[in-house]
Amino acid sequence: MRALIQRVTEASVEVEGQIVGQTGPGLLILVCAMRGDDETAADKLAARIAKLRIFHDENGKMNRSLLDIGGGALVVSQFTLAADTRSGNRPGFSTAAAPEDGRRLYEYFSDSLRSQGIATENGRFGAEMKVRLLNDGPVTIWMDSADRA
C-alpha cells in the first residue's frame, strides 16, 4: 500500500456539499492499495504511520508520534498514488488494486488505525471529494509498505 501523509492542524473531506470526515491536529492520510496488497500490508503501513515521529516534542524536535500526541487521522482513498508517469503524458493506473480490493483494503487500513487507539475518520471511497487541509510545517511524507521488511 502507498500513502501520502500530511501533518495537519485540521483537515476535512466533503462529498456533494456535505462534510463526511474531518480531523483536528493529526494526519491527513491519502492511501492507495496496490495490486497484490493484502491485510498484512495494510496493518504494516498503519502501524508505521501511527508510530512515525513527525510531531514536535517540548524542544521543538520531530520526536513524537500520532499515538504520543493523541492526534486524529483523516483517511482518504486516492488511487492516483499508483500513477505510472514513466512514459507519455497521461499517467497509467494499472498497478492500483481492483476497485473491490481497493475498497476492502482502504476500510481495513482505517480499522487498523482505529484498533491502535487513533480517532480515525474517512472520505468516501470512489466519490468525487473536496479535501481541505491546513498542512502543519509543512510536513508531507511518502510511504510504501513495500519499502521496508
Contact 9, 136 (CB under 8 A): yes
Catalytic status, residue 109: no
Marked catalytic residue, from 9, 80, 93, 140 = 80
Answer whether residue 149 shows pLDDT above 90.
Answer: no
Residue 59 in any domain: the answer is yes
Task: Please report, for the domain that includes residue 46, its CATH number.
Answer: 3.50.80.10
Per-residue pLDDT tens digits for 2-45: 999 999 999 999 999 999 999 999 999 999 999 999 999 999 99
Residue 148 in any domain: the answer is no
User: Percent helix, strand and coil across the chain, each rounded to 5?
Assistant: 30, 40, 30
Catalytic status, residue 78: yes
Residue 53 in any domain: the answer is yes
**Calpha distance 148→92 (Å, rounded):** 25
Q: pTM (2 decimals)?
A: 0.94
More confident residue, 148 or 114: 114
Marked catalytic residue, from 78, 93, 120, 140 = 78
Residue 84 in any domain: the answer is yes
Catalytic status, residue 140: no
**Calpha distance 78→4 (Å, rounded):** 9
Marked catalytic residue, from 79, 109, 116, 125 = 79
Sign of CA dihedral 34, 147, 121, 128: negative
